[in-house]
Amino acid sequence: MTAEAPPLGLYVHWPYCARICPYCDFNVYRARGRGGEAQDLAGALLSDLAAQAALTGPRRLVSIFFGGGTPSLAPPELVADIIARARSLWRADADLEISLEANPTDAEARRFADFAAAGVNRLSLGVQSFDDAALAFLGRDHDAAAARRALALAADLFPRLSLDLIYARPDQSRAAWAAELGEALASGAEHISPYQLTIEPGTAFARALARGRLVPPDEDHAAALFDDTQDILQAAGFEAYEVSNHARGEAARARHNLVYWQGWDYAGIGPGAHGRLTLGGVRHALEGLARPADYIARVGESGAGFAAVEPLDPVAKAEERVLSGLRIDAGLAYSEVTVLGLSPQDERVMGLVELGMLADDPQRLRATRAGRLLLDEVTRRLLL
């Protein structure tokens, strides 16, 4: 009997934003003046989807995630078409998770009902903060009142609701952050993703930092905010199943994100979208051309929008498993990374266990709470 092909997630990248946030380093573009290009992109996405399904062959589809950019700016009818096409190309789970990222502006909230009708059953809302001054600092197009209105509407329309928050902002106090978490908990969302503000190279915030106009909190204060986040959410019944993701029980966990962190296959369509597919028994890294116009042209030429299709050798595959698997509470089995020489008896592992960064677990490589806070350092030491 042949083994069943690995299950599959689908990521769809909509690259356009009304405004580029100063902390964002994603592959995004201002939507203004790109109406014609966006129409062409809609057709390209559907063509790329079919081309990648031909590559993968029959698979069990467990999740679809519309990310960006701002996919809540995409036409709801396109979202519906992609969902229907994906269901026809692969064998969809009966409880297929279909997530869409959205901003809580009033204009976008007016489209929520259309996205629910299109088949989206999980909304990920980029609230980021409930403080107006913080939202202005973060370059957001909404205020706290709009966020509250969008949350209430989303809770009525979608069976599952997640919200994103950004903390460790300049001059943010622990009391103020605790109050924001309290409001997030009161919203009724089943999933909360609190992200520490990071200053990424090439962003507006990176330029402000270089000029001395932005001063992030020191490491001790950021660590205290991290600990407060874990304590407050845990006390409210949320499990920290990943470094920056907390769910009210196992059923509320983001299935699509677990596809990434568990090392499952996923197809990525759209400009700059990444994918990982097992083709001919070998795991491949795939990436779409970044610029929308280039991506559209490549799809027109070859059916798919790939800039690169690269087979991963056993070492590269195992290193990816460490980087992704350590992010979740379950970690990863040592048997998945024997090619790296990692085992409970390995000096690198034993040293990190002694420091309290890794769990003392003979079967699985797992980061502790302290290890998650310093995950970059933990993975650096393991992959020396």
pLDDT in tens, 343-361: 999 999 999 999 999 999 9
Q: What is the DSSP letter of 45?
A: H
Q: What is the DSSP letter of 73?
A: G
Q: Is the pLDDT of residue 3 over 70?
A: no
Q: Is the pLDDT of residue 15 over 60?
A: yes
pLDDT in tens, 159-209: 999 999 999 999 999 999 999 999 999 999 999 999 999 999 999 999 999
pLDDT score of 248? 97
In 263-363, where do the E strands start and end?
Answer: 265-269, 274-279, 282-288, 306-311, 332-333
pLDDT in tens, 42-71: 999 999 999 999 999 999 999 999 999 999
pLDDT in tens, 220-260: 999 999 999 999 999 999 999 999 999 999 999 999 999 99
pLDDT in tens, 315-341: 999 999 999 999 999 999 999 999 999
pLDDT score of 146? 96
CA atoms of 285 and 299, how far apart (whole Å): 18
CA atoms of 24 and 362, how far apart (whole Å): 39
pLDDT band, residue 384 (cuts 50/70/90):
confident
pLDDT band, residue 2 (cuts 50/70/90):
very low
Q: How many helices (H) and strands (E) does the chain have?
A: 15, 16
pLDDT score of 6? 79
Using an 8 Å Cβ cutoff, are 127 and 86 in contact? no
Percent of the chain with pLDDT over 90: 98
pTM of the entire predicted model: 0.96
For residue 276, count CB atoms less than 10 angstroms from its CB and return exposed for 0-12, middle for 13-18, buried for 19 or more.
buried
pLDDT score of 5? 73
Percent of the chain with pLDDT over 70: 99
Q: Is the pLDDT of residue 216 over 60?
A: yes
Q: Which two three-digit tokens encode residue 60?
A: 């069990």
**Pairing assessment for the beta strands 16-17 and 29-30 based on DSSP bridges:** parallel
